[in-house]
Structure 1
Amino acid sequence: MSRLRKILTPKVVVSGLVLGAVLAGFGLYWFQPWKLFQDETVNEALPGAVSPPAASAPATRAPGESSPSASAPAAPRTLARGEFISHEHRTSGSVQVLELADGSRVLRLTGLETSNGPDLHVWISDAPVKEGVGGWRVFDDGEHVGLGKLKGNKGSQNYAIPAGVNLDEFGSVAIWCDRFDVSFGAAELVRA
């Protein structure tokens, strides 16, 4: 007992408490366990969609003037689509690659439901989508393009695809946790 008392001096006890507090703080920062209980819902409008005109008195037009609907932008064209499967966390929803009237492209997640987590990103990748544990870590093995941080773990969201990206080289989408190098869920892109 006296030997233990010699080892557990106030200096050693305080040092142990400080070290424990630092490790606990680091663990909380790294794992962010509270995010598992917090949902972030983001519902963005379909890009290029036109809002219906507000109900008001009919507008008068000069002879030969086109109606507002005649100048409305064309609806986005679907280039590819897919359905999410679950990997590390239960994930569902659909994905579309859309070409807008101006020629730009966006990746649209619709009805997304996944877990929240630290450092989540949306990637397009050349990796095949595999069911089960074997598919969790493949998306950073080959080519991938990050489209940005996941805006919310639920809802419908849009992510711009850079102009120089050749979509023929990328056949999948992943919700990627960069902190732990693991896919929460993924979808195979099938050309429309």
Structure 2
Amino acid sequence: MNWIRNNLKVAVPGAVVGLAVVAYLAFGVFGIHTKFIDDEVSEDVPVFDSGAASAIVSDEVDQATTDEMNEVMEAEQTPVEVVADEPMPDMDDEPEATPTITTVVEGQFVARSHPGSGTATVITDGTTQRFLRFEDFETDNGPDLFVYLTTASADAPADDFGVDGEFVNLGRLKGNVGPQNYEIPVDVDLAAFDTVVVWCDRFSVAFTAADLV
């Protein structure tokens, strides 16, 4: 009995330490818990500093919002009675042109080390301000995920993205599921940085990528 007690005194603390090490590696290093938990986001289409709002209709716009927009449009089309003796407005006072939102480039996400789907679109209002928007986006969750613009193509070796290649870090991935926006610095040349990649910084792995054309 003494032998059993003595060995238990050694075995139990050792087992506890072993479990603690396993838990640290699983959750602290490998982030295994993120594999089973989605980070869902639902960002509205971006509004530019000029006040222009994107014409892209998000998947998250519900029917009630659509009906309300239709009612406003119908009201604006109602004929207005013209009074003859009222002075006509000065035609020289032309209203300022409304900024127009246009698509610069876009591409479809493809799987790399993890599945990936959805559309990546760069939009602008004609100024230097640009946004990268994800629509219908979905990939696996993971630790330390970032959004990069890179000079490598979507099917390039992993080292060409974040180790040996050139890239611009747009920030942490906001969620592995759902629409989201990232503002692009004004000095980024999209002719060179023409691929977006979801990059795992901890393990130097590309989760999913899209060529922007």
User: TM-score, normalised to structure 2's length?
Assistant: 0.70
Letter in 2 for 1:96: T
CA deviations 1:107-138 (Å, max 9, x no partner) are 111110111111111100011221xxx64443
Deviation (angstroms), 1:95? 0.8
Within the candidate set 67, 73, 78, 2:103 is matched to 78
Distance across 2 between alignment mates of 1:54 and 1:38 = 40
Residue 41 of structure 1 pairs with residue 63 of structure 2:
no
Percent identity, aligned pairs only?
Answer: 37
* Preserved CA contact (<8 Å) 1:137 1:183: no
Q: Contact 2:105–2:123 at 8 Å: present in 1 too?
A: yes
Equivalent position of 1:188 in the other structure? 211
Kindly indicate whether the alpha-carbon contact (under 8 Å) linking 1:50 and 1:72 is maintained by their aligned counterparts in 2.
Answer: no
Task: Name the TM-score, length of structure 1 as normaliser.
Answer: 0.76
Q: Considering only CA atoms, is the larger Rg found in Structure 1 or Structure 2?
A: 2
Structure 2's unaligned 5+ residue stretches are 47-51, 56-68, 77-87
Aligned residues: 180
Alignment of 1:92-103 (within 5 A): 92-103=117-128
Displacement of 1:73 in angstroms is 4.3
State how far apart, in whole Å, the 2-side matches of 1:10 and 1:73 are.
77
1:110 matched to 2:110? The reply is no
Q: Which amino acid in 2 is paired with 1:188?
A: D
Deviation at 1:96, TM superposition (A): 1.2
1:54 shift after superposition: 8.5
Structure with the bigger percentage of strand: 1
Q: CA deviation at 1:71?
A: 6.4
CA positional deviation for 1:142: 0.9
Structure 1: unaligned runs, 5 residues or longer: none
How big is the shift at 1:180?
1.2
Residues 72-120 of structure 1: per-residue CA shift (max 9 Å, x gap): 8423221111111101111011111112354301111111011111111
